[in-house]
Structure 1
Amino acid sequence: MGSNHDKYQKGRAWIELNMDNLTHNVKQLQKLLPKGCALMPAVKANAYGHGAVRIGLKLAEMGIKDYCVASASEAIELRRAGITGQILILGYTSPCQFQDLVNYQLTQTVVDLAYARALNDYGHPLWVHVGIDTGMHRLGERSEDVENICEIWRLEHLKITGVYSHLSASDGNSEAEITFTRKQITEFQEVVKALNQRGIVGFKTHLQGSYGVLNYPELEFDYARVGIALYGTLSMSSDRIKADAELRPVLSLKARITCVKALHENEAAGYGLAFRADREMRIAAASIGYADGIPRELSNKGYALVNGYRAAVVGRVCMDQLLLDVSDVPKVSAGDEAVFIGKSGEQEILACEAAERAGTISNEILSRLGSRVERV
């Protein structure tokens, strides 16, 4: 029997983390990397909903020394939890937070030349990686503007330790997507070469995210910013990958069945009369809703597993609860588990499946899992 604390954590809705699977995924991804290339796990968005501190500490235990996040506040949370090593902020940090970069020894992305000047004007030594725009057109100096890129190296307070770009179609298998990705790779390599030819050396390079590693494992850079693959899933189940990697899901999402009742033929259930019974049914309320991260788009579309059987979501997903059709589930009662992502008996629901039913990708489903869902 578990402790009372364990029981409490599994009282309403909870996430179970399989750290053995995380370890397995790290080893699988490391095997794909060229010699000298280090994983730089993306632990942004609360480690894609898994819990940034828990995941970060486990990765540190495994010898990971480099991490990337989206914001200064995410980086500070890791530092305060005792994570050392390099933490790269991939997004924008406001000048009002520049002192945090100093205090917590964080590495900031240079989003363009104007931002580099603002960082430099702060007057303190700041560690930075320079973003290069090779075609995503989000952050970074455009790859053809080599003079602007070189100008960043003339700013005295910036300690430039890295240069990187972002692949925008590396998950695609169409000829157009592969051609575009190859063009991005070439443009990034040409920027690095142009810097080296001007005597600018001594910086690390990185370009690949999860799909960059899984579909272009032959590339040789210093870091690989793996995100969704680290957590053992793909963005969509239809995604085809080139590399031989067996990834295992780290996260399961579960909730309690709180009551089971009859629903008679032609009765409606839930808000807005959105579901109407076409026969005599048994329905069960589960203690999880959209405030916990179950998308409303799964109303009348989603599934959970109850005692090894599939049970359809019926009616609208509410803020804190939802209804399941358990007519075909034998012996279901209050206190049973409903599994929304994960395994029950011989059945399994992957994050990809839940995402596709909601019209999105697993990255969004996972990263939007709410803070009140206990991580166990």
Structure 2
Amino acid sequence: MPEDGKTPGRMGRAWAEVDLDALDHNAAALRALLPPGCQLMPAVKAEAYGHGAIPVARELNRLGVDDFCVATAEEGARLRRGGVRGDILVLGYTHPGDFPLLTRYDLVQTVVDGPFAGALEECGKPVRVHIGVDTGMRRLGFPAEEPGPIAGVFRRKNLRVEGVFTHLCAADTCLPRDRAFTLGQAEAFRRLIEELEGRGCAVGKTHLLSSYGLLNYPRLGGSYARVGIALYGEGSTRADTERWKDLLRPVLSVKARVASVRTLRPGEYAGYGLAFQAREETRIAALSIGYADGFPRSLSNGAGRVLLHGRGAPVVGRVCMDQTMVDVSHIPQARAGDAAVVIGSWGEETIRASETAEAAGTITNELLSRLGPRLERIPVRGQSFSGSL
């Protein structure tokens, strides 16, 4: 932090701060949970869940993390162009038109099924791959109960198989049904790996844990834990965030500038559709953030809130594309130019991303990954805030 205590960066109308100290803490905390022989493979897809993929991956590189996973080949290519080192696994489908990115940027592609394996083979160049296996999610991957087609991938001359993995789709709880399903997935995966090895296939790395797999089922093991939301200090739900609050620290905060403060007389309306009507004299502040920045429209009419001068200010009227109005009648010191906390802390008050996601009727993962590109991501070390920026 600079000597004047102010956050570096442009800090214009609205911005996000990414606390690298919190990221470092979470990486260390999650590493401590890893079973023997397992390494972190952070998920930095969707701009590292809205945090900024390149600065996050560079910081993790500095900590000795050299394996990452992304959703698309273009995401992997951007990391490479940003100087990120190590293996980068593309978890999703890549169109044949983008196959050149795989070899140009030394990416590892998931083989999602047999026809896709054939298309990769026909590109005519050696491609590094991991084989995706479906053990019950029914999304992508070869069916685990059919080892023959999977073994056939190992015989393709242009595919360099370096790993096999699956995805646990119910590991976010330990409820009896979900636990039984998760353990069943793990057992199906174990049997498949055993069958492939019995057929002489060098399976390489094996992995099945994501954030919740590591937190709830670390004994399932594997070569990698593909941690995503937990790395960023949150759970997918508010309850999960609360559950792990002593282990993980929130990495991201969002702040927005107060553009205007004005007073409504009783009976006056504000916002689109006359959605808010003042019952008494009401001071409202217009914030320079809206749904185009990732502040959901579903937070309209009191569903959402922000912090100003350490106090909560509820949303009034409808969230607009570029602006949001909040009630500051009880915050007399609120002025144009103040910075409001949309996600984060101010003194003793905190709004976690999971709280905002719950209020918006979604999960933390969606809320964070949909934060818009107009929010400049500003790396900081530690979080301290007084509102005078």
| CA deviation after TM superposition for structure 1 residue 329, in Å | 1.3
Aligned partners of 2:265 and 2:282 also within 8 Å: yes
Aligned partners of 1:214 and 1:243 also within 8 Å: no
Is residue 318 of structure 1 aligned with residue 326 of structure 2?
no
Aligned to 2:78: 77
Aligned to 1:338: 340
AA in 2 matched with 1:317:
V
Aligned partners of 2:285 and 2:326 also within 8 Å: yes
Aligned partners of 1:32 and 1:243 also within 8 Å: no
Aligned partners of 1:215 and 1:242 also within 8 Å: no
Deviation readout 1:288-327 (Å, 9 max, x if unpaired)? 0011100000011100000100000011111110100001
Is residue 230 of structure 1 aligned with residue 198 of structure 2?
no
AA in 2 matched with 1:74:
E
Q: Alignment partner for residue 305 of structure 1, among 307, 310, 319?
A: 307
- Note closer, same or farther for the CA distance 1:131–1:32 as it changes in structure 2 (3 Å cut): same
- Note closer, same or farther for the CA distance 1:105–1:181 as it changes in structure 2 (3 Å cut): same
Is residue 365 of structure 1 aligned with residue 367 of structure 2?
yes
What CA distance in whole angstroms lies between the structure 2 residues aligned with 1:324 and 1:221? 48
Percent pairwise identity: 52
| CA deviation after TM superposition for structure 1 residue 172, in Å | 2.0
Aligned to 2:198: 197
Aligned partners of 1:43 and 1:67 also within 8 Å: yes
| CA deviation after TM superposition for structure 1 residue 244, in Å | 9.7
Aligned partners of 2:288 and 2:322 also within 8 Å: yes
23-32 or 259-268, which moves further after superposition? 259-268
| CA deviation after TM superposition for structure 1 residue 330, in Å | 3.1
What CA distance in whole angstroms lies between the structure 2 residues aligned with 1:202 and 1:163? 6
Is residue 356 of structure 1 aligned with residue 363 of structure 2?
no
| CA deviation after TM superposition for structure 1 residue 173, in Å | 3.0
Q: What is the correspondence of 1:103-252 to structure 2 with a 5 Å cutoff?
A: 103-239=104-240, 246-252=247-253
- Note closer, same or farther for the CA distance 1:183–1:210 as it changes in structure 2 (3 Å cut): same
Aligned partners of 1:216 and 1:242 also within 8 Å: no
Aligned partners of 1:210 and 1:227 also within 8 Å: yes
> Which 5+ residue runs of structure 1 have no aligned equivalent?
none
- Note closer, same or farther for the CA distance 1:350–1:242 as it changes in structure 2 (3 Å cut): closer
- TM-score normalised by L of structure 1: 0.97
Aligned partners of 2:29 and 2:248 also within 8 Å: yes
189-198 or 305-314, which moves further after superposition? 189-198
- Note closer, same or farther for the CA distance 1:242–1:150 as it changes in structure 2 (3 Å cut): farther
Aligned partners of 1:173 and 1:240 also within 8 Å: no
Aligned to 2:97: 96
Aligned partners of 2:289 and 2:295 also within 8 Å: yes
Aligned to 1:276: 277
Aligned partners of 1:132 and 1:139 also within 8 Å: yes
| CA deviation after TM superposition for structure 1 residue 279, in Å | 1.6
> Which 5+ residue runs of structure 2 have no aligned equivalent?
379-389
Is residue 66 of structure 1 aligned with residue 67 of structure 2?
yes
- Note closer, same or farther for the CA distance 1:294–1:243 as it changes in structure 2 (3 Å cut): closer
RMSD over equivalenced CA pairs, Å: 1.7
AA in 2 matched with 1:332:
A
What CA distance in whole angstroms lies between the structure 2 residues aligned with 1:9 and 1:281? 32
- Note closer, same or farther for the CA distance 1:8–1:100 as it changes in structure 2 (3 Å cut): closer
